[in-house]
Amino acid sequence: MSKQKFWRGVLPAITTPFDANGAIDHAFLADHAKRMIAAGCGGIVPLGSLGEGNALMFEEKLAVLRTLVETLPEHPVIPGIGAFSTGEAVRLAREAEKIGCRGLMVLPPYVYVGDAEEMQTHVSAVIDATKLPCLLYNNPIAYRTDFLPEHIAALAERHANLEAVKESSTDVRRVTAIRALIGDRLDILVGVDDAIVEGVAAGAVGWIAGLVNAYPKESVRLFELAREGKHVEVDALYRWFLPLLRLDTVPKFVQLIKLTQQQVGMGSERVRAPRRVLAGAEREATLALIAEAEHNKPEV
């Protein structure tokens, strides 16, 4: 079975916008998704960690997917499938398929951290629940579950519709380790912004990006330059972008990225509790960082 081409390129881990009353702002969500596609992104990944999927109710998640599928009929919507229980994750996967999503990003369960067999059984149940192509999300820092290369190889052997892995361990050597075990059986996507150039050099073919929500053109250009091996141009753009890309790798990355969106006119900093918007010295330092980046922003 040939893999979908939409695993390649830049896929925004799109943020979930909220209005002043805390409800999802569907009109802004639709417009924001169209801006991402217009900048050259290949699809949209909602309901992930950056999308605050763990803070959304089940029906809210389905509403987000309906909005995006209706807005982007020609482009893949690939939702994060995360839940506290396997049963709920399976239900979300099936509903996403009915709504018209083109692929799924499969997460380990929220909160509970089991042994390797339990975690593989959980994601296997979700992958088995759908005919859609699936991407495994490995983020041991956030979810405290680490799908090692040998686990990923076993899952790939078991599931024909497992086509890709989002590698967010922050260890770029994982890219080469996975490829050493299974070759090109899975497409590998980088899941942490400040490892994208290194990940592409190691063999990754896609980027599920965070700061793309504020800087879509710059993100797409950086990926293209890295893929084309244009080292001089990559180095110049990466040096400018790295201070911002590092905002994606700290505990308050959602607040940081949404604040960046707000400052560049690409969104609002509103978040869903228990998160709170940044305040005090932390906020001032971030605003200064964004202001400096804006002052030195390159033409792309």
- Catalytic residue numbers? 137, 166
Query: How far, rounded to the nearest angstrom, does the alpha carbon of residue 96 sit from its chain's CA centroid?
Result: 17
Which sign, positive or negative, has the C-alpha torsion 280, 268, 220, 160?
positive
| Nearest-angstrom CA–CA distance, 178 and 180 | 5
Among candidate residues 173, 195, 187, 172, the one with its CA nearest the CA of residue 248 = 195
Pairing of strands 9-12, 104-106: unpaired
| Nearest-angstrom CA–CA distance, 260 and 214 | 6
Cα–Cα–Cα angle for 208, 212, 213, rounded to 5 degrees: 110
How many Cα atoms occupy the beta-carbon half-sphere of 6 within 13 Å?
Answer: 22
| Nearest-angstrom CA–CA distance, 59 and 139 | 25
| Nearest-angstrom CA–CA distance, 286 and 56 | 26
Residue 95 contacts residue 129 (beta carbons within 8 Å):
no
Among candidate residues 158, 193, 151, 208, the one with its CA nearest the CA of residue 174 = 151
Size of the chain, expressed as the number of residues it contains: 300
Rg of the chain over Cα atoms, rounded to whole angstroms, equals 18
Q: 114 by DSSP, 3-state: which?
A: coil
Among candidate residues 247, 221, 230, 210, the one with its CA nearest the CA of residue 299 = 221
Place of tokens 């076993």: 154
